[in-house]
Amino acid sequence: MTTTGIWRALTPTEKVYADKEIYVGYTVRASGRLDLDALRTAYAAVCRAHPHLASRLGTDEHGLVVVDAGALPEVQVHDGDPDHPLTGVTLGQDRFLSGLNVVRDGDEASVTLVNHHCVADADHSLAVFARLWSCYTDTVEGVPFDLPRHRYPMPLEVVLGDRGFQVNNPVVRSPGAAVEPSPDLRVLVRHVAQLRLTEAQTTALAEFGRRHGVTLNGLLSAAILLVEAKTRDIPLTDLVLRFTVNLRNRVTPHITPTEGTNIVGGGRFMVPPGTTPTPVAIARVVGDQLRTGLATGAIQRSLLDMVDLVNHQNPGEVPQEPPHPRHVVISLTNWGRIPPMRTPTALTLTNFQSTSHIRESPAHFTAARGYVASTFTGRLGIDLAFPEKTAEQTQRVDDLHELLVGLVEHA
């Protein structure tokens, strides 16, 4: 194919998200008058300002490359239940790497920005989403705006390489790589159950953590581990917590949200034998291990090391010992504070949640579970995604709510 319109090849840390066509959705619940024309204007503006949102995947001699799609993605609008925010959505990495989906029911609607994970992680996508709502508000109120055009964001390999980390060849050498995932994979849109604390409960929980010298993230990690151990009726020491860390403020110099595609690392935490099974004790150990991982660079390098191992780029390196067969892996991603999203007086954003659209092997559907934490308008929320809605999922969320609220009520 011609190189016209090709921006660059995907790097290994980006390609991992193309193999299963992973899109992540960022959903707000809107109440009031939603002006669809203004929404289309705003989405077009952010796609022009951030051209990778109007891109697709193609191939050249390097394998998968990001290509100008030749058009802007359109807002998709459907009538239905806003509690199912990806209803009717059409996505495909050979067409567009971004989408905006609206599901309406009278004056209630869900509005979801869906970005392919190979071009934007959560911090990146949420910054774009906030700009979209700012443009929407200006359009409704008749205020002119002019967003500057941003360059294509940098991959993790470049960000870390520029900051002194050892990085292998960042280009994926796989001639003839397919744009479409394996035909054996099926689209999985998971059901999300959510708990959201009140603003007062969120403040009280953060203050509880400060009094005991632990972070809110540590308390959430501990609570999830305790609930999972209780629900599964297994020892805490049989659980492995896999967590994601936003690295933008963990490297020097820092980078802004939209300067990079996926600027994240990760870690694996296990409760050491002998740890007191309380939220504070577990949270303290989580915090200690996180600080150690950042100090040694292990967390910053974690995604690089993972793809190096998968791609056999370090054939002399001894692979890490796999988890013991009895270990159960639990995933937690904490998006932190959702940036403020400005709206006109006729529209109110009442809630936020995560969602996803991924191609997965049906044999792995039952294992496709995970937690996402965020704080929206001062209220802490935890999303638990399951392949489908179940009583087991609901019970976990109820138990988490009881544990977290109990910490501050009985402090």
Kindly write down the DSSP assignment for every residue of 190-214, as one continuous string.
-EEEEEE--HHHHHHHHHHHHHTT-
Tell me, what's the pLDDT at 228? 97
User: Contacts from 364-367 at CB under 8 Å and sequence distance 24+?
Assistant: 365/188
Between 379 and 7, name the one with better pLDDT: 379
- The DSSP bridge partners found for residue 76 are 101
- Alpha-carbon distance 372 to 144, whole Å? 36
Q: Which residues contact 139 (CB under 8 A, 6 or more apart)?
A: 35, 38, 41, 42, 145
- Residue 331: other Cβ atoms inside 10 A: 17
- Alpha-carbon distance 119 to 26, whole Å? 15
| 63-68 and 6-9 strand pairing | antiparallel
In the predicted structure, residue 171 carries a pLDDT above the cut 60: no
What domains sit in the chain, N to C, each tagged with a CATH number? Answer: 6-187 (3.30.559.10), 190-338+367-409 (3.30.559.30)
- What are 42's two structure tokens? 């705003």
- Residue 301: other Cβ atoms inside 10 A: 18
* Across 270-294, average pLDDT: 96
- Alpha-carbon distance 81 to 85, whole Å? 8
Nearest to 174 by CA among 302, 52, 12: 12
CA 172 to chain centre: 23
CA 363 to chain centre: 23
* Across 263-283, average pLDDT: 96
- The 10s digit of each residue's pLDDT in 120-164 is 999 999 999 999 999 999 999 999 999 999 999 999 999 999 999
- Alpha-carbon distance 224 to 52, whole Å? 35
Nearest to 25 by CA among 388, 374, 396, 299: 374
Tell me, what's the pLDDT at 313? 45
Contact yes or no for 129/115 (Cβ under 8 A): no
The burial class, CB within 10 Å (0-12 / 13-18 / 19+), for 134 is buried
Handedness of CA 166, 125, 70, 46 (dihedral sign): negative
364 pLDDT tier (thresholds 50, 70, 90): confident
Tell me, what's the pLDDT at 170? 55
Lowest mean per-residue pLDDT among 33-42, 67-76, 168-177, 301-310: 168-177
Contact yes or no for 179/94 (Cβ under 8 A): yes
- The DSSP bridge partners found for residue 352 are 28
In the predicted structure, residue 303 carries a pLDDT above the cut 80: yes
Tell me, what's the pLDDT at 410? 77
Question: How many CA atoms within 13 Å lie on the side-chain side of 313?
Answer: 18
- The 10s digit of each residue's pLDDT in 314-354 is 444 434 444 455 789 999 999 999 999 999 999 999 999 99
Q: Roughly what angle, to the nearest 10 degrees, separates helices 298-311 and 279-296? A: 70
